[in-house]
Amino acid sequence: MEHVALMFVDLVVMGLGHVGLPLAHRASQAGLRTVGLDVSEQVVAGVRGGRSPVGGVADQDVAAMLGAGFTATTDPAVISTAQTVVICVPTGLAPDGTPDLSSVEAATRAVASRLRVGMLVVLESTSYPGTTQDVVRPLLESGSGLRAGDDFHLAYSPQRIDPGNPVWNVGNTPKIVSGCTELCAKYATAFYRQFVDDLVIARGTQEAEMAKLLENTYRYVNIALVNEVALFCHESGIDTWDVLHCAATKPFGFAPFTPGPGVGGHCIPVDPRYLAARAASQGFPFRMLAAAHEVLGRMPGHVAGRALRLLTEVRGDPRGARVLLLGVAYKPGVADVRESPARPVAEALCAAGAEVGYHDPYVDTFTVGGRPLPRATDLPAALDASDLAILLQEHPCYDMNALSRARCALLDTRGKVAGSRVTLL
């Protein structure tokens, strides 16, 4: 492990991923002496070399951060030099689908052994209500001998990062702030006020944790709703996309969502599972989450089934058919493939004997079943060589008019393409 010379800094950000690096970037822009701490030597080496590991921060932004004094390290000793430590490590799912707080716990233990009187510790990682008080606080107190609210300040402020969003960022997105005590909340508020325009003070850490889960659960259940509407409309011979267009014209009481091949990313498929697990531990059956999970879990199989039926129509047998997946990232304009529904779609098509490749200008490698799928770089040529293309993600670089003129059949799961050879989800 490398060692850094100890000097006092304003902020140490733990985790330089999709949450931590944008936070460090904004803090650095505001003039805070900031250090990024990550367990990955590859990530740290890249950042030190001016290369961003995430889509929300450009290489030139990293270069500007370095020029302003920012540095990255794998040495946790830097924690002891910080006035404020913000934990931005991943909170994913264990193999059995339950919350995995191992990264949060490891980061908290690293802070606990270096905690100083007067330090502010903030958790930004998304988790279930009670994590700050019941998991993070005991680890900090037992590992340091200090007491939250008296000797140091502990807060929770959920991240609201939207990768690829050109309008909303760390600075102008209203930020929820909470503390284990009123004094903790005041210290956290003073910290974030240095580089965030609008702050929203929650009553306590559980309210802030629950608010974050509600935000993404709201999207989760509404995405599930429109996907089930799409399934019903397909069975009933109703034009799903015209229904959605008409409903979206209502200027009040309706928020538009669109169907697709499923949900992906780190937040939407994961956060509701944290809420469901917490509710189950308290004996509360969150029935709507279970229903939404069931509906969204069906969508990749539904898309694959539609594709196989189209292949049967156009060439008689799906076996040996050439299928091109268009966009395997989980959202438009990003390179993130975490939990992407493109993977189960590809797995089902491969299992049926189809030859599956992909085109995605953002994703260099996409692995399915332990092997990388062939990647097309010449889109027109790849379309000409395919029996079927499936538009899974509406990347901004895709020319929908050009796709409508493709020689091959096209299954559009996003409702963006029109043409005689186009089939809508």
- Its sign, for the CA torsion 357, 359, 360, 361, is positive
> CA 271 to CA 275: how far, in whole Å?
7
> CA 320 to CA 293: how far, in whole Å?
33
Token pair for 337: 């493939």
Question: 12 and 159 in contact (C-beta within 8 Å)?
Answer: no
Question: 7 and 75 in contact (C-beta within 8 Å)?
Answer: no
180, 184, 233, 267: the catalytic one is 267
> CA 166 to CA 57: how far, in whole Å?
11
Which of 337, 341, 374, 344 is CA-nearest to residue 359?
374
Which of 94, 45, 53 is CA-nearest to residue 71?
45
Token pair for 349: 């098509």
* Virtual torsion, Cα 385, 391, 392, 397, nearest 10 deg: 100
Residue 389 Rama label (left phi>0; alpha psi -120 to 50; beta): beta
Question: In the block, which residue shows the tokens 């200027």?
Answer: 251
* 271-281 and 205-236 helices, crossing angle to 10°: 110
Which of 398, 228, 378 is CA-nearest to residue 329?
398
> CA 338 to CA 328: how far, in whole Å?
10
**Number of neighbouring beta carbons within 10 Å of residue 301:** 16
Token pair for 390: 């499936």
Angle at 131 between CA 94 and CA 83, to 5 degrees: 115
For residue 80, the 8-state DSSP code is G
> CA 66 to CA 50: how far, in whole Å?
8
408 is catalytic: no
> CA 125 to CA 130: how far, in whole Å?
13
Positions marked active-site: 267
